[in-house]
Amino acid sequence: MGLLMMPKRTKVMAFGGFDVLHAGHLSFLRQARKQGDELVVVVATDRVLEKVKGHEPYFNQQERRQLVASLKFVDKAILGDKNNTLLPIKWERPDVIVLGYDQPKQVGELRRELAEIGVRVKKIVRTKPFKVRKHKSSKVKKYFERFV
User: Tens-digit pLDDT profile for the chain (148 aa)?
Assistant: 556 777 789 999 999 999 989 999 999 999 999 999 999 999 999 999 999 888 889 999 999 999 999 999 999 999 999 888 899 999 999 999 999 998 888 999 999 999 999 999 999 999 988 765 655 555 656 655 665 6
Cα-only R_g, the chain: 16
For the chain, the first-to-last Cα distance in angstroms comes to 68
* Domains recognised in the chain with CATH numbers: 11-145 (3.40.50.620)
Taking the model in full, what pTM does it have?
0.85
Nearest one of 130, 82, 90 to 110, comparing CA atoms: 90
